[in-house]
Structure 1
Amino acid sequence: MFVHVVDEEIYLKLVDQNDAVRLFELTDRSRSYLREWLPWLDDTNSVYDTRNFIKHSRDGFARHKNMNTAVVYKDEIVGIAGFNEFDWINRSGSIGYWLDKHYTGHGIIVRSVKALTNFAFTELKMNRVEIRAAMGNLKSRAVPERLGFQHEGCIRESEWLYDHFVDHAVYGMLAKEWK
């Protein structure tokens, strides 16, 4: 089982089926907050849907395709952060994250993403880490900006968000730039 200590308050652990009820509760209570920027909320209507996400995540991890971890803050799961995708040929990974609305403002995601980025460069020997966020999602965009990622551009109409397309800001960090 993958567990990565971030600091004295936070650790990341590979999602497993025992987390399904808690993750669904977080999703459900933060539904309107998360729905503004995440396209999967309408497809997550029960613990069963969350169990399917976890199964897909575990299968992807076993095939070295992704790594979704539960963010554990003060011994409570508060969200998800991890690698949505690994590109082993090009030695790059794409980080994604979400947090329950009740836990925002504590630097939890910034610290978690910093730890994931460091893990990518030191343990996985990646050359590049990428983060994408909707152009209008200033809170999500602040995460890579605070960590010194380079804003590399905009992918126009990159994602269908319920009834409209949104542009994505693309941020990148190279191993040689990471301090």
Structure 2
Amino acid sequence: MKNTITRIETPHLLLRIFQPEDAEILKERLDDNLPILMPWIPWAKHEPEPLEAKRDRIRSWIGDFYSNKEYGYVVFEKSTGEFVASCNLFGRRGKGTTEIGYWVDHLKTGRGYATEISYALTKLSFEHMGIEKVLLYIDDRNIASQRIPAKLNFTHEYTYRELPKDAEGERLKFQVWAMFEEEFEKVDKFEAVEFKWS
């Protein structure tokens, strides 16, 4: 897995590699979104963290990017410059695959941005990284997130159970959605995507 793309422009969004100076806005928006993220994202339980720790974390993400471990992007709205999301491409599911991860600021949900981000990262994986299979792992309770891969013609391959339990004592379940390279279909409204590298 190798990726040299540090900046992506979509019709409505700018995705770029994190920089240490993003720590302030990332902490501000994460802290505001924590009550919403807690049920869905395991790492949210370790938040909030101090600003300097956030800067150190971003520096580690930059190192991971350039050492081809995983690729993190901060996402801004092109029209306003406002923070929208954080997203990642992970290589933890095996050779020839990437896994998309993201969270969207609650102030920017309902605008199709998660779908636009997922489309851009899928296109990046297939057209610039030589990836054969893109995956999304989605909590079975998260109905809104399940709509995103469905819109992009991913296939729901299976649902599995984890050891942790939810607040009602039920085992957490995750859906696995997948798309192979030959199944990728262009979506006209998202197709004005530019990939840039530095």
Q: Same fold (TM over 0.5)?
A: yes
Aligned partners of 1:149, 1:35: CA distance in 2, in Å?
Answer: 26
Matched residues, number: 177
* 2:160 aligned to which of 151, 155, 161: 155
Alignment of 1:73 onto 2:77: yes
Say if 1:161 and 1:116 are closer, same or farther in 2 by CA, change over 3 A.
Answer: farther
Q: Partner residue of 2:35?
A: 32
**CA offset digits 1:87-113 (Å, max 9, x no partner):** 6x7211011000111100011110011
Aligned partners of 1:152, 1:82: CA distance in 2, in Å?
Answer: 21
Kept in 1: contact 2:29–2:105 (CA 8 A): yes
Aligned partners of 1:178, 1:14: CA distance in 2, in Å?
Answer: 25
Kept in 1: contact 2:89–2:99 (CA 8 A): yes
Kept in 1: contact 2:34–2:47 (CA 8 A): no
Alignment of 1:62 onto 2:62: no
* 1:117 aligned to which of 110, 119, 122: 122
Q: Which structure is larger by alpha-carbon Rg, 1 or 2?
A: 2
Aligned partners of 1:15, 1:163: CA distance in 2, in Å?
Answer: 37
Shift of 1:160: 6.8
Shift of 1:81: 1.4
Kept in 2: contact 1:12–1:72 (CA 8 A): yes
Aligned partners of 2:67, 2:166: CA distance in 1, in Å?
Answer: 28
Aligned partners of 2:31, 2:168: CA distance in 1, in Å?
Answer: 20
**Identity within the alignment, %:** 24
Question: Aligned partner of 1:78: which letter?
Answer: V
Alignment of 1:169 onto 2:175: yes
Say if 1:122 and 1:162 are closer, same or farther in 2 by CA, change over 3 A.
Answer: farther
Give the ranges of 4+ consecutive aligned residues of structure 1 lying more than 3 Å apart after TM superposition. Answer: 158-165
Aligned partners of 1:100, 1:3: CA distance in 2, in Å?
Answer: 20
* 1:20 aligned to which of 19, 23, 32: 23
In structure 1, runs of 5+ residues without a counterpart are none
In structure 2, runs of 5+ residues without a counterpart are 186-198
Aligned partners of 2:109, 2:71: CA distance in 1, in Å?
Answer: 22
Q: Secondary structure of the equivalent of 2:156? A: strand
Question: Aligned partner of 2:31: which letter?
Answer: D
CA RMSD of aligned residues (A): 2.1
Q: Secondary structure of the equivalent of 1:126? A: coil
Alignment of 1:84 onto 2:90: yes
**CA offset digits 1:23-42 (Å, max 9, x no partner):** 11111111101112111123
Kept in 2: contact 1:44–1:50 (CA 8 A): no
Compute the TM-score of the two structures, normalised by the length of structure 1.
Answer: 0.90
